[in-house]
Each structure stands twice: as C-alpha cells, then as structure tokens.
C-alpha cells in the first residue's frame, strides 16, 4: 500500500506498539461504568442507573453540553483519596498497554470541591497513582489543573489559591467545560497569575467555539498549547500563524465524533491539519465516555483517513515535542520512536 504498510492490520500493529504521549485526558473522563458502580457501592452513593449497560446507553450525546451534564453527574461517586487513586491507576494501567510512555493529565478540582471533597484528597489520590506508574513502568507524567469556564473568574482565583500548597505537583493550568459564551478572555487575570507562579498554560479552544476564541487563548491568555483547535481551520491566517509558531494542538478524534464536532471520522480534519503544517497530536479526551483510549483514537482516524507511516510517526513525535518534558527526555522518546519504526519495516 502507498501508505507504507502491507495492510490495515499491519498499520494497527504498528500503532499498537508506537511509543506515544497523551496530552489531552480528563482523568474524571476515564471513569468506566464498572468502576462507577463499584465506587457507588463502596461509598453508598446512589446513581440514576441500574446497570453498566444502561450507563453506556446513556452515552449518546448531541453536543458538548449534553456530555458535560452526564460527566459532572458521574463524578459524584468520587469521594475518598483511594477513589482518586483507583480512578487514576486504572487509566494509567490501561494506557500502559497502549505504549503510552508519558501522560499530561487534566483534573477538574471545582467538580469535587463544590461537592465537599477536599482539594488535598483529590490531588493526593491522583499523584499517588502517578508516582506508582513512574515506579512500576517508568511512565512520566505532568498534572494540569483546569478551571471550569462556566463558573466565574473569581471562583477560578479561589481554586488557584487552594492549589498554592500543592504547586510542586501541579505543572500547569487549563480551561475546560462549556466553551460557547465563555471566551478565554473571561479568565485573563487568573491565567496571568498562574503564569507569574511559573505554571504552564493551556486552554480548550475551537472545539465548539469560533476561531476568535483561539486568537484569545493565544493573545490574551498566552497559552503554550491549544486543546482541540479544530475550528482554527476556518481561518487561513490563524492556521498560518499556528503552523509558523509550531503551536501544538491536542486533537481528540473519537471525542469529536461523539460530540458531533464531526459527522463521521472520514470527515475528521486531522489529515488537513497535518497537511497544513500544524503540530497536531492524537488524544482520547474522556475515553470512558467516547468509546476508546488513545490507540483506538489513532486506529479510528488512521483507518478513516488512510494515514501513512510518516503521518503516524509525525503524530507520535508531536506528542513528545509538544509535551512539557525537558529536551533530553523528549529526545530519548524520539529515539524510541525511530527504533520502533526501524524494527517494523
């Protein structure tokens, strides 16, 4: 095949072992229905579903808000430090099997503190699992704290205050939740403070929102990465700027399909992004809700768009060069990608 593989099965095998980083993952979005039921029972929390099948059947979304309503409801079972440890460990073990060598994980503290769960409980459980993955598998990680953009900037400021004693474990801040009507500029001051604290900055932009939100994320917030960024393609000047600056986009194909950002994976813009010189990466966003972890995202989009070996290598390389790892660690991962490629001619 002209794509550099003998068959689609050969390409899937190549993807399965290709070393990669995941840069766009909401840890609360990795809560599988089985774990949701187990935690509900352990904690005596009532959930409005009677079976795992019923939960999965409820995961039919027509837009971002549809999903978010169920996503926040699912979090109700997360109460103790062990719950956050079990949630995070399950995700890390799952992606270890997908040849993920490094993760940059989002968490939504406001989804928990507003239910009375202490900030320290959340971060304690997540970081204990991150440390265990580093010790067991040599998997590195960074933690990114997201502000919920449907809430006020004052509430984001209060969340940043709560994070201050934990900044050794928090590498950056992000912006997620309902995009339309909540432009990045709403959070200009809290992002400026996060920057002054030495934190990296990322923001969801251009998932459902217009190209103007991507400009604001760049110009008002000064982000280091754009999460999603799909709608940037509507503005050629923006595409040229993102390409020239090497700005990483954390693209999430199965999320885009499930949230109706695209009608079909054949219509997914990932190949167009790569052709335009954009530093796109492939990620799972909320894998328990969107039907697949990172390799399923790679395979789905590779099959639909007939991605070539060179395109898959570029996506894997972008995942490390777009990460917050130091250059020497990025270099070691890039060498591992080259070694995998040479071993699979």
- Residues tagged active-site: 207
- Span near Zn ion by CB under 5 A; candidates 195-203, 266-274, 281-289, 297-305: 281-289
Q: How many residues bind ligand ADE (CB under 6 A)?
A: 11
> Which DSSP symbol is given to 138?
-
83/285 with CB nearer Zn ion: 285
Q: Is 20 near ligand ADE (CB under 6 A)?
A: no
Q: Is 51 helix (H, G, I), strand (E, B) or coil?
A: coil
Q: State the Cα–Cα distance between residues 25 and 207, nearest whole angstrom.
A: 15
Q: How far is the CB of 340 from ligand ADE (least distance, A)?
A: 29
Q: Is 177 near ligand ADE (CB under 6 A)?
A: yes
Q: How far is the CB of 71 from ligand ADE (least distance, A)?
A: 6
Residue number with the smallest Cβ distance to ligand ADE? 176
Instruction: Using alpha carbons, list the distances in angstroms from residue 160 to 3, 107, 164.
Output: 47, 13, 6
Q: What angle is formed at CA 16 by the lines to CA 10 and CA 301, rounded to 5 degrees?
A: 75
* Terminal C-alpha separation, the chain: 13
Query: Strand pairing partners for 26?
Result: 106
Picked from ligand ADE, Zn ion, none, the partner binding residue 32 (CB below 5 to 8 A depending on kind) is none
Instruction: Using alpha carbons, list the distances in angstroms from residue 259 to 68, 107, 179, 285.
Output: 10, 20, 13, 11
26/333 with CB nearer ligand ADE: 26
Out of 98, 104, 176, 216, point to the residue binding ligand ADE (CB under 6 A). 176
Q: Is 295 near ligand ADE (CB under 6 A)?
A: no
Give me 217's structure tokens. Answer: 């994320």
Picked from Zn ion, ligand ADE, none, the partner binding residue 311 (CB below 5 to 8 A depending on kind) is none
Q: Which phi-psi region, left, alpha or beta, contains residue 259 (left: φ > 0; alpha: ψ -120 to 50)?
A: alpha
Q: How far from chain centre, in Å, is Cα 79?
A: 23
Residue number with the smallest Cβ distance to Zn ion? 285
> Which DSSP symbol is given to 219?
I
Query: Strand pairing partners for 169?
Result: none
Give me 248's structure tokens. Answer: 């990483």
Residue with tokens 């217009």: 210
Q: How far is the CB of 252 from Zn ion (least distance, A)?
A: 6
Asked if residue 36 lies in contact with residue 77, where contact means CB atoms within 8 angstroms, the answer is: yes
> Which DSSP symbol is given to 226?
E
Q: How far is the CB of 285 from ligand ADE (least distance, A)?
A: 5
- Span near Zn ion by CB under 5 A; candidates 43-51, 88-96, 279-287, 332-340: 279-287
Picked from Zn ion, ligand ADE, none, the partner binding residue 29 (CB below 5 to 8 A depending on kind) is ligand ADE
Phi first, then psi: give them for residue 61, nearest 5 degrees. Answer: -110, 145
Q: How far is the CB of 311 from ligand ADE (least distance, A)?
A: 23
- Span near Zn ion by CB under 5 A; candidates 1-9, 58-66, 285-293, 337-345: 285-293
Q: Is 311 near ligand ADE (CB under 6 A)?
A: no
Q: Is 255 near ligand ADE (CB under 6 A)?
A: yes
For residues 180 to 219, the per-residue mask of contacts with ligand ADE, x marking binding by CB under 6 A and - elsewhere, is ------------------------x--x------------
177/248 with CB nearer ligand ADE: 177
Q: State the Cα–Cα distance between residues 47 and 322, nearest whole angstrom.
A: 38
Q: Is 285 near Zn ion (CB under 5 A)?
A: yes
Nearest-Å Rg of the Cα atoms of the chain is: 19
> Would you tell me which residues interact with ligand ADE (CB under 6 A)?
26, 29, 64, 71, 176-177, 204, 207, 255, 285-286
């Amino acid at each position: 095949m002209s794509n550099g593989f003998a068959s689609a099965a050969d390409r899937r095998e190549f993807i399965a072992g290709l070393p990669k980083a995941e840069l766009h993952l909401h840890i609360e979005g990795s809560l599988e229905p089985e774990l949701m039921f187990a935690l509900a029972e352990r904690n005596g929390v009532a959930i409005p579903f009677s079976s795992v099948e019923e939960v999965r059947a409820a995961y039919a979304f027509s837009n971002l808000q549809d999903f978010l309503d169920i996503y926040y409801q699912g979090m109700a079972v997360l109460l103790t430090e062990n719950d956050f440890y079990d949630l995070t460990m399950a995700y890390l073990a799952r992606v270890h099997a997908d040849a993920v060598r490094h993760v940059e994980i989002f968490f939504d503290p406001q989804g928990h503190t507003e239910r009375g769960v202490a900030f320290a409980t959340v971060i304690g459980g997540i970081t204990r699992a991150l440390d265990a993955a580093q010790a067991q598998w040599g998997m590195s990680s960074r933690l990114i704290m997201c502000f919920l953009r449907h809430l006020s900037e004052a509430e984001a400021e209060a969340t940043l205050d709560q994070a201050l004693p934990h900044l050794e474990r928090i590498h950056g801040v992000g912006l997620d939740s309902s995009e339309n009507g909540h432009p990045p500029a709403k959070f200009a001051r809290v992002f400026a403070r996060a920057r002054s604290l030495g934190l990296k900055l990322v923001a969801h932009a251009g998932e459902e929102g217009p190209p103007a939100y991507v400009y604001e994320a760049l110009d008002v917030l000064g982000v280091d990465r754009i999460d999603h960024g799909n709608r940037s393609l509507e503005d050629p000047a923006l595409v040229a700027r993102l390409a020239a600056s090497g700005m990483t986009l954390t693209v999430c194909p199965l999320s885009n399909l499930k949230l109706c950002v695209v009608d079909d994976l054949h219509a997914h813009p990932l190949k167009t992004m790569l052709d335009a010189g954009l530093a796109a990466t492939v990620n799972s966003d909320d894998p328990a809700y969107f039907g697949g972890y990172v390799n399923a995202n790679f395979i789905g989009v590779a099959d639909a768009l007939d991605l070539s070996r060179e395109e898959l290598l570029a996506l894997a390389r972008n995942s490390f060069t777009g990460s917050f790892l130091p250059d020497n660690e990025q270099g070691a991962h890039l060498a591992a990608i080259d070694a995998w490629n040479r071993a699979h001619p």
